[in-house]
Amino acid sequence: MKKMKFIDPHVHMVSRTTDDYQAMAEAGIVAVIEPSFWIGQPRTEAGTFKDYFSSLVGWERFRASQFGIRHYCTIGLNSKEANNEALAERVMELLPLYLCKEGVVGLGEVGYDDQTPAEDKYFRLQLELAKKLNIVVQIHTPHRDKKSGTSRSMDVCLEHSLSPENVIVDHNNEETVREVLDKGFWAAFTIYPSTKMGNARMVEIVKQYGPERIMINSAADWGISDPLAVPKTAWLMEQKGISEEAIEKVCYKNALEAFGKSGQMKESDWADGQSIDQRSTFSGNSILRGGMTPKVDPKSSNVIIE
Ligand SMILES: [Zn+2]
């Protein structure tokens, strides 16, 4: 396989290590999209959302750049924490401020977790906001009642007059993919390391449905997950005889097309190789520790940090 470029359009890098960034860059990942999400510990103050959103457009973006990876994000109130209504109201006030910031490629990840009335309320309010701002929506579909939750998510989008081509429906499986594609939405798949949707199953889906409007991601976070899921699945697809053109669509081009609508994410951001300058700092902080020589590489996309 010639050296391919990959985009991981759903990965929670705040939970990952510098080793992950290094391995991702070496594997050919040139860009990542980090959706805002629940961080494990339930938040109790709107200020912690504010700082989290700020880190997604600030520190984490800087940290990725130090490894030659372009970092983008989606901003939203996650479904789980929509159930804390007093908090949710305050977070809703923050969203418009962050959705217009540099590097924000959409509203997400939003949708249903337990499909409660509060989740429904804040999902709908956020869809209206996305419509007003003319930005794409990244939808988290529930892990319980997956099929009905996915159908419902799409129905609600249509009810609010969102165009399916502006909505990425995530965490699909064999049971949901047909309906999502038939309705004209983007179908994203999360590749889990050992359970649920594994990469062998993903290969079969691409064989069956082809590469149009399908994209894959790792959704790597603080749980057991694999930030190399996208390149590993690409390599398996190649072994199983899927064309390079199809692999490129599923692992790179479709994510670029869908999230590139924001105008914030362009191939030219990394096409000539990305500059790495580890002498730079963010709020006075560097990723380097005592005695390390900063790597300075003006044109290198997949950089090995020595
Ligand atoms: Zn996620």
pLDDT digits (tens, 9 = 90+) for 178-234: 999 999 999 999 998 876 667 899 999 999 999 999 999 999 999 999 999 999 999
What is the per-residue pLDDT across 250-263, written as a single tens digit (0 to 9) for each?
Answer: 999 999 999 999 99
Distance in Å, CA 161 to ligand 1 centroid:
25
Query: 290 alpha carbon to ligand 1 midpoint, in Å?
Result: 34
Distance 197 CA to ligand 1 centre (A): 14
Structure tokens at 256: 């670029």
How remote is the CA of residue 109 from the centroid of ligand 1, in Å? 7
Residue 275: other Cβ atoms inside 10 A: 13
Report how far ligand 1's centroid is from the alpha carbon of 111 (Å). 11
Average pLDDT, the chain: 93
For ligand 1, the distance from its centroid to the CA atom of residue 104, given in whole angstroms, is 16
The Å distance, Cα 91 to ligand 1 centre, comes to 18
Can you tell me the distance from the alpha carbon of 53 to that of 81, in angstroms, rounded to the nearest whole number?
Answer: 15
Distance 180 CA to ligand 1 centre (A): 19
- pLDDT in the model for residue 162: 98
Cα of 38 from ligand 1 centre, angstroms? 8
Task: Tell me the pairing of strands 186-190 and 167-169.
Answer: parallel
pLDDT reported for residue 301: 45
- What percent of the chain is helix, strand and coil (3-state, nearest 5)? 45, 15, 40
Query: How far apart are the CA of 217 and the centre of ligand 1, in A?
Result: 10
Residue 201: per-residue pLDDT:
93
Residues flanking ion ligand 1, Cβ below 5 Å: 37, 219
Residues 215, 255 contacting (CB under 8 angstroms): yes
Q: How far is the CA of 4 from the centre of ligand 1 (A)?
A: 24
Q: How far apart are CA 49 and CA 272, in angstroms?
A: 35
pLDDT band, very low/low/confident/very high, at 299 (cuts 50, 70, 90): low
Pairing of strands 70-75, 29-35: parallel
Distance 188 CA to ligand 1 centre (A): 12
Which helix H or strand E contains 47, and what residues bound it? helix 46-57
Ligand 1 centroid–CA 301 distance in Å is: 25
Sorted by where each starts, the structural domains of the chain and their CATH numbers stand as: 6-297 (3.20.20.140)
pLDDT at 20 over 60: yes
Distance 298 CA to ligand 1 centre (A): 32
Q: How far is the CA of 163 from the centre of ligand 1 (A)?
A: 22
Query: What does the DSSP 8-state code read for residue 67?
Result: T
CA 279 to ligand 1 center in whole angstroms: 31
CA of 171 to the centre of ligand 1 (A): 9
